[in-house]
């Protein structure tokens, strides 16, 4: 177990846990630099919330939010852009990002695949049932792990067929995206089955509502749940942990690694 930490930099007014905190570019850049210092090897910069029920923003608005932040962070950090829009992905790569984190796994803008292929950029493909407006309305699966695995296998094929280097593709089961508490726990328990896809796994549990369903904690009180679920995910095979609280997660991972030897 030796996961990379991906620090979350949300340049949004409405993200579920830190909306409005880093809407100002200067504050977002300072936050990103702090996360890098705390141990984040990748900074994931996003300008549109994907929380359940979130409203969409235009590409212009999204780019106005993330563009300056990516420009300032990318000379000294590996930056991914959390977007599903082609113009935002393209401008972000032009501005110094090297990875596109697409929570729709190329379903919203299939052209992102050709863009990543042409630029030699990394690509994260995530599973989501439905879209952010509807995803938490009674999600159902035959077997959540089998269904998510089949989806990711198919999306991986699509990306490779469009010319994206397989070596640059990472997969993510999308914790909290169209899943009940039991679905999320089942996925985290059975990450070894998703590893059979042969690509690195990105896991984002940070501050998510399923943690609160376990112990009743509010979003601002889920640090312990975030750290526990992140460490368990790493122990079960996650390669990248996408978290808001990088310092605390880094410390927990180091201790877990030392114990495992
Ligand atoms: N989760 C969120 C956003 N992007 N990308 C990947 N690959 N995996 C995730 O689990 C994931 C993601 C949601 O978290 P956050 O960015 O904090 O919230 P919001 O979407 O409200 O900005």
Mutational pocket test of ligand 1: of 4, 172, 204, 211, the residue with most ligand atoms within 8 Å of the beta carbon:
204
Distance 255 CA to ligand 1 centre (A): 26
Asked if residue 112 has its Cβ within 6 Å of ligand 1, the reply is: no
Cα distance between residue 228 and residue 211, in whole Å: 10
Asked if residue 209 has its Cβ within 6 Å of ligand 1, the reply is: no
- pLDDT of 260: 94
Distance 246 CA to ligand 1 centre (A): 15
Asked whether 243 and 226 are in contact (CB, 8 A), the reply is: yes
Which residue numbers in the chain have pLDDT < 70? none
The closest of 41, 15, 5, 1 to 203, measured between CA atoms, is 5
- pLDDT of 47: 97
Q: What is the pLDDT of residues 30-81, one digit of tens each?
A: 999 999 999 999 999 999 999 887 888 999 999 999 999 999 999 999 999 9
Cα distance between residue 49 and residue 11, in whole Å: 9
Asked if residue 83 has its Cβ within 6 Å of ligand 1, the reply is: no
Asked if residue 126 has its Cβ within 6 Å of ligand 1, the reply is: yes
The three-class DSSP label of residue 82 is strand
Asked if residue 229 has its Cβ within 6 Å of ligand 1, the reply is: no
Look at ligand 1, atom 8, and give the residue with the nearest C-alpha. Answer: 204
Catalytic residues: 208, 242
pTM: 0.97
Cα distance between residue 6 and residue 206, in whole Å: 11
Task: Name the region of 156 (left: φ>0; alpha: ψ -120 to 50; beta: rest).
Answer: alpha
- pLDDT of 53: 79
- pLDDT of 4: 98
Distance 117 CA to ligand 1 centre (A): 24
- pLDDT of 40: 98
Asked if residue 222 has its Cβ within 6 Å of ligand 1, the reply is: no
The closest of 245, 257, 201 to 9, measured between CA atoms, is 245
- pLDDT of 171: 99
Q: Which atom of ligand 1 is nearest to the CA of 202?
A: 7
Look at ligand 1, atom 3, and give the residue with the nearest C-alpha. Answer: 50
């Amino acid at each position: 177990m030796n996961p990379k930490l991906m620090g979350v930099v949300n340049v949004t007014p409405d993200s579920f846990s830190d909306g409005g905190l880093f809407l100002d570019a200067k504050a977002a850049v300072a936050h990103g630099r702090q996360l890098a210092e705390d141990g984040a090897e990748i900074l994931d910069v996003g300008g549109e919330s994907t929380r359940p029920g979130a409203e969409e923003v235009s590409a212009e608005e999204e780019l106005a939010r993330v563009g300056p932040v990516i420009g300032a962070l990318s000379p000294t950090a590996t930056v991914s852009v959390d977007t599903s829009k082609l113009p935002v992905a393209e401008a972000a790569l032009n501005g110094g990002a090297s990875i596109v984190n697409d929570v729709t796994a190329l379903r919203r803008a299939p052209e992102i695949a050709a863009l990543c292929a042409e630029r030699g950029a990394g690509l994260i493909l995530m599973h989501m049932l439905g879209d952010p407006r509807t995803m938490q309305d009674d999600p159902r699966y035959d077997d959540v792990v089998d269904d998510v695995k089949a989806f990711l296998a198919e999306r991986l094929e699509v990306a490779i067929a469009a010319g994206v280097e397989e070596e640059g593709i990472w997969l993510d089961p999308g914790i909290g995206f169209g899943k009940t508490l039991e679905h999320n726990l089942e996925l985290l328990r059975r990450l070894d089955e998703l590893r059979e896809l042969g690509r690195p796994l990105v896991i984002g549990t940070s501050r998510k509502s399923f943690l609160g369903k376990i112990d009743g904690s509010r979003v601002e009180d889920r640090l312990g749940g975030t750290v526990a679920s992140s460490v368990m995910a790493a122990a079960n095979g996650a390669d990248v942990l996408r978290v808001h609280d990088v310092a605390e997660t880094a410390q927990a991972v180091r201790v877990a690694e030392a114990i495992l030897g």
